[in-house]
Amino acid sequence: MAATTIRLSYYLCCLLLIVQVHSVNRDNFKTCDQSGFCKRHRSMQPGNSPYIVLMDSLKISSSQISVQLLNTKTNVRLVLDLYGLQGNTARVKINELEPLKPRYEIPVGDVLIGEPKQQDLKVLDKGAGSITLGLEDNKIVVSYSPFRIDFIAGEEPVVSINAQGLLKFEHFRKKPEAQPEEQAPANPIEGEEKKEEEGEKKEEEKKPDNEEEPGLWEETYKSFHDPKPNGPASVGIDVSFPGFENVYGIPEHAESMALKTTKDTDPYRLFNLDVFEYELYNPMALYGSVPVMWAHNEKSTVGIYWNNAAETWIDIRSTTADKNFFSKIADLVKGNTEMAQMDTHWFSESGVVDIFVMLGPRPKDVFKQYAALTGSTELPPLFAIAYHQCRWNYNDQDDVKNVDANMDSFDIPYDVIWLDIEHTNGKRYFTWDAHKFPSSKDMINGVAVKGRKMVTIVDPHLKRDDNYNVYTDAKNRDMMVKGGGGEEYEGWCWPGSSSWPDFINPEVRNWWASKFQYSEYGGSTPDLYIWNDMNEPSVFNGPEITFHKDVQHYGGTENRDVHNLYGFYVQKATAEGILMRSNNEQRPFVLTRAFFAGSQRFGAVWTGDNMGEWSHLKVSNPMLLTLNLAGITFSGADVGGFFRNPDHELQTRWYQAGSFQPFFRAHAHIDTKRREPFLLPEENMKIVREAIRKRYTYLPFWYTLFYHGFRSGETVMSPLWVTYPEDKSTFEMDDEYLLGSSLLVKPITEQGSVGTSVYFPGKDESYAGSQNTYVNAPLDKIPVFQRGGSIVPRKMRVRRSSSLMASDPFTLIICLDKQGEASGDFFKNNILQSSNADPSGKGSTKEWVEKLIIVGYPKLPQVSISQLMAIHSLYITAMIVTAEC
Give the domain extent around 646: 388-456+507-540+561-716
Cβ(320)–Cβ(310) under 8 Å? Answer: no
Same domain (yes/no): 401, 527? yes
Q: Please tell me whether residue 58 adopts helix, strand or coil conformation.
A: strand
- Count other Cβ atoms within 10 Å, centred on residue 755: 13
Same domain (yes/no): 536, 401? yes
What is the band of 277 on the pLDDT scale with cuts at 50, 70, 90? confident
Residues 452-479 pLDDT 10s: 999 999 999 999 999 999 999 999 999 9
Same domain (yes/no): 329, 407? no
Question: What pLDDT does 798 receive?
Answer: 96
For range 168-190, the mean pLDDT: 70
pLDDT above 80 (res 830): no
**Does residue 826 fall inside a structural domain?**
no
Tell me the H-state helices in 336-381.
363-374
Question: What pLDDT does 426 receive?
Answer: 98
Measured CA to CA, the distance from residue 56 to residue 814 in angstroms comes to: 64
Same domain (yes/no): 414, 307? no
For range 857-869, the mean pLDDT: 59
Question: What pLDDT does 154 receive?
Answer: 85
| Amino acid identity, position 195 | K
Q: 428 CB contacts (<8 Å, ≥6 apart)?
A: 462, 463, 465, 468, 470, 471, 495
| Amino acid identity, position 305 | Y
Residue 638 designated active-site: no
Of 609, 734, 735, 825, catalytic? 609
Same domain (yes/no): 417, 306? no
Which has the minimum average pLDDT: 51-55, 197-201, 428-432, 645-649?
Answer: 197-201
pTM exceeding the 0.75 threshold for the entire prediction: yes
Give the phi and the psi of residue 701 in degrees, each rounded to 5: -65, -45
Cβ(346)–Cβ(312) under 8 Å? Answer: yes
Q: Which residue has the higher pLDDT, 178 or 175?
A: 175
Measured CA to CA, the distance from residue 458 to residue 420 in angstroms comes to: 9
Beta bridge partners of 314: 268, 346
What is the band of 667 on the pLDDT scale with cuts at 50, 70, 90? very high
For range 737-751, the mean pLDDT: 98
Cβ(734)–Cβ(258) under 8 Å? Answer: yes
**Does residue 771 fall inside a structural domain?**
no
Angle at 600 between CA 374 and CA 792, to 5 degrees: 115
What is the band of 846 on the pLDDT scale with cuts at 50, 70, 90? confident
**Does residue 532 fall inside a structural domain?**
yes
Same domain (yes/no): 74, 139? yes
pLDDT above 60 (res 283): yes
Same domain (yes/no): 533, 671? yes
Question: What pLDDT does 829 receive?
Answer: 65
Give the phi and the psi of residue 739 in degrees, each rounded to 5: -100, 115
Q: 715 CB contacts (<8 Å, ≥6 apart)?
A: 367, 628, 629, 633, 709, 722
Q: Please tell me whether residue 546 adopts helix, strand or coil conformation.
A: coil
* CB burial of residue 615 (10 Å; 0-12, 13-18, 19+): middle
Question: What pLDDT does 282 receive?
Answer: 93
pLDDT above 80 (res 181): no
**Does residue 117 fall inside a structural domain?**
yes
Question: What pLDDT does 875 receive?
Answer: 42
Q: Please tell me whether residue 485 adopts helix, strand or coil conformation.
A: coil
Give the phi and the psi of residue 160 in degrees, each rounded to 5: -130, 135
Percent of the chain with pLDDT over 90: 81
For range 238-251, the mean pLDDT: 98
Same domain (yes/no): 300, 449? no
**Does residue 424 fall inside a structural domain?**
yes
Q: What is the DSSP letter of 558?
A: B
Pairing of strands 148-153, 156-161: antiparallel
Same domain (yes/no): 524, 660? yes
What is the band of 155 on the pLDDT scale with cuts at 50, 70, 90? confident
Measured CA to CA, the distance from residue 649 to residue 777 in angstroms comes to: 13
Residues 341-371 pLDDT 10s: 999 999 999 999 999 999 999 999 999 999 9
Question: What pLDDT does 768 receive?
Answer: 64
For range 757-773, the mean pLDDT: 80
Cβ(395)–Cβ(422) under 8 Å? Answer: yes
**Does residue 766 fall inside a structural domain?**
no
Which has the minimum average pLDDT: 169-178, 478-487, 627-636?
Answer: 169-178
For range 181-208, the mean pLDDT: 48
Task: Assign residue 53 the CATH number of its domain.
Answer: 2.60.40.1760
Question: What pLDDT does 842 receive?
Answer: 66
What is the band of 271 on the pLDDT scale with cuts at 50, 70, 90? very high
CA atoms within 13 A on the CB side of 227: 7
Question: What pLDDT does 66 receive?
Answer: 98
Cβ(595)–Cβ(287) under 8 Å? Answer: yes
Q: 198 CB contacts (<8 Å, ≥6 apart)?
A: none
Question: What pLDDT does 206 receive?
Answer: 43
Same domain (yes/no): 603, 625? yes
Question: What pLDDT does 278 receive?
Answer: 94
Of 274, 404, 527, 533, catalytic? 533
Cβ(137)–Cβ(365) under 8 Å? Answer: no
Which has the minimum average pLDDT: 16-25, 419-428, 436-445?
Answer: 16-25
Give the phi and the psi of residue 650 in degrees, each rounded to 5: -65, -40
Q: Where among 374, 397, 415 does a domain terminate?
A: 374
Question: What pLDDT does 612 receive?
Answer: 98
- For the chain, the domain total comes to 2
Alpha carbon of residue 320 to chain centroid: 30
**Does residue 874 fall inside a structural domain?**
no
Measured CA to CA, the distance from residue 41 to residue 310 in angstroms comes to: 15
Same domain (yes/no): 366, 393? no
Residue 734 designated active-site: no
Question: What pLDDT does 525 receive?
Answer: 98
**Does residue 799 fall inside a structural domain?**
no
Helix or strand (DSSP H, E) at 445: helix 440-448
Q: 16 CB contacts (<8 Å, ≥6 apart)?
A: none
Measured CA to CA, the distance from residue 286 to residue 271 in angstroms comes to: 7
Question: What pLDDT does 479 receive?
Answer: 98
Cβ(592)–Cβ(608) under 8 Å? Answer: no
Q: Where among 689, 716, 743 does a domain terminate?
A: 716
Measured CA to CA, the distance from residue 91 to residue 63 in angstroms comes to: 11
| Averaged pLDDT of the chain | 91
Which has the minimum average pLDDT: 85-94, 622-631, 782-791, 839-848?
Answer: 839-848
pLDDT above 50 (res 373): yes
For range 319-328, the mean pLDDT: 88
Cβ(207)–Cβ(176) under 8 Å? Answer: no
Cβ(653)–Cβ(748) under 8 Å? Answer: yes
Same domain (yes/no): 304, 426? no
What is the band of 329 on the pLDDT scale with cuts at 50, 70, 90? confident
The sheet that has 827-828: what strands, in order across it?
Answer: 827-828, 831-832, 864-865
Task: Assign residue 566 the CATH number of its domain.
Answer: 3.20.20.80
CA distances 698 to 662, 694, 811, Å, are 11, 6, 10
Q: Where among 341, 374, 407 does a domain terminate?
A: 374
Measured CA to CA, the distance from residue 700 to residue 709 in angstroms comes to: 14
Residues 287-321 pLDDT 10s: 999 999 999 999 999 999 999 999 999 999 999 99
Angle separating helix axes 682-697 and 648-658, nearest 10 degrees: 10
Question: What pLDDT does 280 receive?
Answer: 97
What is the band of 48 on the pLDDT scale with cuts at 50, 70, 90? confident
Spatial CA neighbour of 53 closest among 27, 71, 35, 34: 71
SS3 content of the chain, % helix, strand, coil (to 5): 25, 25, 50
Measured CA to CA, the distance from residue 738 to residue 593 in angstroms comes to: 25
